[in-house]
Amino acid sequence: MHTILLTGGAGFIGSHLTRLFVKKYPQYKIVNLDKLTYAGNLENLRDIENEANYQFVKGDITDLDFLRKLFAAHQFTAVLHCAAESHVDRSITDPLAFITTNVLGTGSLLLAAKEAWAGDMENKIFYHISTDEVYGSLGAAGFFTEETAYDPRSPYSASKASSDHMVRAFYHTYKLPVKISNCSNNYGPFHFPEKLIPLCIHNIINNKPLPIYGKGENVRDWLYVEDHAAAIDVVFHNGKIGETYNIGGHNEWTNIDLVKELCRQMDEKLGKEKGTSEKLITYVTDRAGHDLRYAIDATKLKEELGWIPSLQFEEGISKTIDWYLANSEWLTHVTSGDYQKYYNQQYHNQ
């Protein structure tokens, strides 16, 4: 039995994780705490919002008094911490927002859990969801393991690295029962269209340029979001307290090859002549401090807990495109208003 505080459940990964836990564990109670920033959208959870074991609470993880009251009201036995500012480009224009939410917010959550669980840490779990970007940038060879030294290089990854360190500090100092996982780039349904894959799908649908930073040679290791949620489920239930697990797809793509694959599949699905969407590819100014390559070694997760990704990339991308094509209303809702302002600012000269 668990009563789980799941933060950031209205976001991309959080909504998939909420759905998985609400459906798979009807005996658990899941309380989704989300501030509903531009990235949080309750439309992501429409299919489970009336489930008896699910509750939504609007609130901010940086508000310690609010968190104390929430812990007192619900007697949580576990935290699944997904809430964060998550987009590297936004962290370059507004680093303080990332320090506030990712560092101060995680610190506040740790403190609230420590206070609520003082004297009885038995059967409690504080699970912190993190990223492979904390490890920095790889050259052409090698992989990130759990032992790779942290070397964050963007305000986003530095804020996530800080929060990871703080989680470990609470484990060593106060014996808070923590778990951490560091995952590679996710893709799939409900992904906000400021990130590369949903942005390109959106722009291909609307016949708009596909902005490729620099030469498009940067490499990311892509994992289908439901596979990430499944890995979190495995670590939550079977992972060891105090341990870190890397999660990745062994699925490396240069940005340009990935966007070309998207174009190929979308031409087919939209009945367009081969090569039509590729003509939209536009090389733009590179991201400042753009990390060259991320690649995860997920051997520990495979050997200790038996997790492997279920989907091949071409299949995952095909499912993802189909979802976006079938959910044009969702896309229209999230690409109006504030997003439009961000988009114009980010790409205005390019």
Q: Choose the contact partner of 36 out of ligand NAD, ligand TYD, none; CB within 5 to 8 A by kind.
A: ligand NAD
In sequence order, the β-bridge partners of residue 57 are: 33
Nearest alpha carbon to residue 156 among 194, 201, 198: 194
Among 148, 182, 255, 277, binds ligand TYD (CB under 6 A): 255
Q: Is 135 in the site for ligand TYD (CB under 6 A)?
A: no
Using rule CB under 6 A, residue 199 touches ligand TYD: yes
202 binds ligand TYD (CB under 6 A): no
Burial class (CB in 10 A: 0-12, 13-18, 19+), 303: exposed
Distance of CA 350 to the CA centre of its chain: 27
Residue pair 224/311 in contact (Cβ under 8 Å)? The answer is yes
Please give the C-alpha separations between residue 299 and each of 12, 73, 229, 309, in angstroms, as whole numbers.
26, 40, 18, 12
196 binds ligand TYD (CB under 6 A): yes
Q: How many residues does the chain have?
A: 350
Interface contacts to ligand NAD, rule CB under 6 A: 7-8, 10-14, 34-37, 39-40, 60-62, 82-86, 101, 105, 129-131, 160, 183, 185-186, 192
The binder of 218, among ligand NAD, ligand TYD, none, by C-beta within 5 to 8 A per type, is ligand TYD
Q: What does the buried/exposed string (b/e) look like for 132-162 if buried means 16 or more CB atoms within 10 Å of the residue's CB?
A: bbbbbbbeeeebbebebeeebbbbbbbbbbb
C-beta of residue 170 within 8 angstroms of C-beta of residue 108: no
Give the span between the Cα atoms of 133 and 103, in whole angstroms. Answer: 15
- Tell me how crowded residue 22 is: count the other CB atoms within 10 A of its CB: 24
- Which active-site residues does the annotation give? 132-133, 156
Return the closest-CA partner of residue 307 out of 248, 263, 244: 248
Measured from the CB of residue 196, what is the shortest distance to ligand TYD in angstroms? 4
Residues in region 67-96 near ligand TYD by CB under 6 A: 88
Is 203 near ligand TYD (CB under 6 A)?
no
Is residue 186 close enough to count as binding ligand TYD by CB under 6 A? no
Residue 101 interacts with ligand TYD (CB under 6 A)?
A: no
212 makes contact with ligand TYD (CB under 6 A): yes
Number of residues that bind ligand TYD (CB under 6 A): 12
Q: Which stretch binds ligand TYD (CB under 6 A): 26-34, 73-81, 211-219, 243-251?
A: 211-219
Nearer to ligand NAD, 156 or 277 (CB): 156
At 222, list the tokens: 């892509």
Stretch that binds ligand TYD, among 162-170, 209-217, 227-235, 240-248 (CB under 6 A): 209-217
Q: Which does 146 bind (CB under 5 to 8 A by kind): ligand NAD, ligand TYD, none?
A: none
Q: Which is nearer to ligand TYD, 253 or 307 (CB)?
A: 253
Instruction: From the list ligand NAD, ligand TYD, none, pick the one residue 11 interacts with, judged by a Cβ distance below 5 to 8 Å according to partner type.
Output: ligand NAD
Examine residue 21 and tell whether it contacts ligand TYD (CB under 6 A).
no
Please, which residues have CB within 8 angstroms of residue 340's CB and are 6 or more apart in sequence? none
Q: Are 61 and 108 in contact (CB under 8 A)?
A: yes
| Residues forming a β-bridge with 29 | 3
Rounded to a whole number of angstroms, the minimum distance from the CB of residue 143 to ligand NAD is 16
Q: How far apart are CB 199 and ligand NAD at their closest, in Å?
A: 13
Position of tokens 């050259």? 139
Q: Residue numbers of the site for ligand TYD (CB under 6 A)?
A: 88, 185, 195-196, 199, 211-213, 218, 220, 255, 287
